[in-house]
């Protein structure tokens, strides 16, 4: 923990390199839906053996929207304590109001984070114009003690942060990047191109388009599939930056089916189910999410088998 705090204190805004692969880690629950920190430690010991750049804590796969304020902060604190030395802790800090987001950023900083992943407000989505989002992220970045990584996940929020807003916000000294989970490679390429002079880092939000994202200038990925196939996701990142295009393409194609199962097809319950097959603790989701039916479990297993991971 002291090492992690020292890393935080040495970070001066845009100097933080966030390139690489991050699993957006799941929150392990007991069957009574309480958080089981011993299982978090169990999973972290295994993840610490994989060459991740760091961990995203309280991203979408953590089910943060079902947690209390204190739970969100406590999971970050424990993950920072358990992480291998040198791993970047990126903490999900988005809230619906600007003032709560600022307060959460400060609490996550004290819990041991090094960077903050901030999803856009979305409840009043029709009012989340480019101007409103620029005002929100600017205020958050102005007051945050740590660098901000914006989080664009339109499938969950119903809001696609406009490219013009991203480009404007990329000029802020305390906004260092964006995780884009939309899967629109043209949009991602446009952001990379338009922010090239702003020392701005773009991360792919899924292993399903990781190779394409690297090919248009992304520096890494925050990938749900890395919870399960961490070595393989890191391997794809390495291949994407090598001259072995065929090996990169072959691995990318094998990852597409399993990735789809643990993201848009079956979501967090699918991810947690598949974790169990690879020696991790997945456990149940927190309600209202429901565990999968036997038929759904078999559908996921079939995709992993077809891709030769099981």
Overall domain count for the chain = 1
251 within a domain of the structure (yes/no): no
What is the per-residue pLDDT for 13? Answer: 58
76 within a domain of the structure (yes/no): yes
What is the per-residue pLDDT for 14? Answer: 73
Q: Where are the alpha helices (DSSP H) in the chain?
A: 2-10, 37-47, 69-82, 98-110, 130-143, 154-157, 163-169, 185-194, 210-215, 230-240, 245-260, 267-277, 294-306
302 within a domain of the structure (yes/no): no
133 within a domain of the structure (yes/no): yes
256 within a domain of the structure (yes/no): no
Q: Are 283 and 29 in contact (CB under 8 A)?
A: yes
Domain span at 151: 2-244
Question: Residue 192 pLDDT more than 90?
Answer: yes
Domain with residue 178: its CATH number is 3.20.20.70
250 within a domain of the structure (yes/no): no
What is the β-pairing status of strands 175-180 and 20-22?
A: unpaired
Binding residues for pyruvate: 222
291 within a domain of the structure (yes/no): no
Alpha carbon distances (Å) from 163 to 127, 191, 195:
17, 7, 10
Q: Give me the phi and psi of 187, to 5 degrees please.
A: -60, -45
Of 218, 201, 209, 225, nearest to 309 by C-alpha is 225
pLDDT digits (tens, 9 = 90+) for 292-302: 999 999 999 99
pLDDT digits (tens, 9 = 90+) for 84-99: 999 999 999 999 999 9
213 within a domain of the structure (yes/no): yes
Question: Residue 5 pLDDT more than 90?
Answer: no
Whether the upstream peptide bond of residue 285 has omega within 30° of 0, thus cis, is no
What is the per-residue pLDDT for 8? Answer: 45
pLDDT digits (tens, 9 = 90+) for 119-158: 999 999 999 999 999 999 999 999 999 999 999 999 999 9
Torsion over CA: 77, 14, 161, 134 (sign): positive
Work out the angle at residue 148's Cα, subtended by the Cα atoms of residues 94 and 23, and round it to the nearest 5 degrees. Answer: 75
Catalytic site positions: 151, 179
Q: Spell out the residues 6+ positions from residue 251 whose beta carbon is closer than 8 angstroms to its own.
A: 232, 235, 236, 239
- Name the pLDDT band for 12 (thresholds 50, 70, 90): very low
Binding residues: 222
């Amino acid at each position: 923990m002291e090492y992690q705090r020292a890393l935080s204190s040495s970070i001066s805004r845009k100097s933080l390199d966030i390139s690489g692969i991050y699993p957006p880690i799941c929150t392990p629950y007991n069957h009574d839906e309480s958080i089981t920190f011993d299982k978090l430690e169990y999973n972290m010991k295994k993840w610490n053996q994989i060459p991740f750049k760091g961990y995203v804590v309280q991203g979408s796969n953590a089910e943060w929207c079902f947690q209390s304020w204190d739970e969100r902060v406590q999971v970050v604190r424990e993950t920072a304590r358990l992480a291998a030395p040198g791993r970047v802790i990126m903490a999900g800090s988005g809230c619906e109001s600007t003032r709560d987001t600022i307060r959460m950023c400060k609490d996550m900083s004290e819990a041991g984070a090094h960077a903050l992943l901030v999803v856009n407000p979305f409840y009043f989505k029709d009012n989340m114009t480019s101007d409103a989002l620029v005002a929100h992220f600017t205020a958050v970045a102005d007051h945050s003690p740590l660098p901000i990584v914006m989080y664009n996940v339109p499938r969950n929020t119903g809001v696609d942060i406009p490219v013009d807003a991203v480009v404007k916000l990329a000029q802020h000294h305390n906004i260092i990047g964006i995780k884009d989970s939309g899967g629109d490679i043209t949009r991602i390429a446009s952001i990379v191109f338009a922010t090239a002079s702003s020392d701005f880092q773009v991360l792919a939000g899924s292993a399903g388009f990781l190779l394409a994202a690297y090919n248009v200038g992304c520096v890494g990925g925050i990938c749900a599939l890395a919870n399960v196939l961490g070595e393989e996701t890191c391997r794809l990142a390495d291949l994407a930056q090598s001259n072995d295009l065929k090996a990169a393409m072959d691995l990318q194609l094998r990852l597409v089916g399993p990735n789809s199962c643990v993201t848009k097809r079956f979501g967090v319950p699918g991810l947690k189910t598949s974790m169990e097959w690879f020696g991790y603790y997945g456990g149940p989701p927190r309600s209202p999410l429901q565990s999968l039916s036997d038929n759904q479990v078999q559908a996921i297993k079939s995709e992993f088998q077809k891709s030769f991971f099981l």
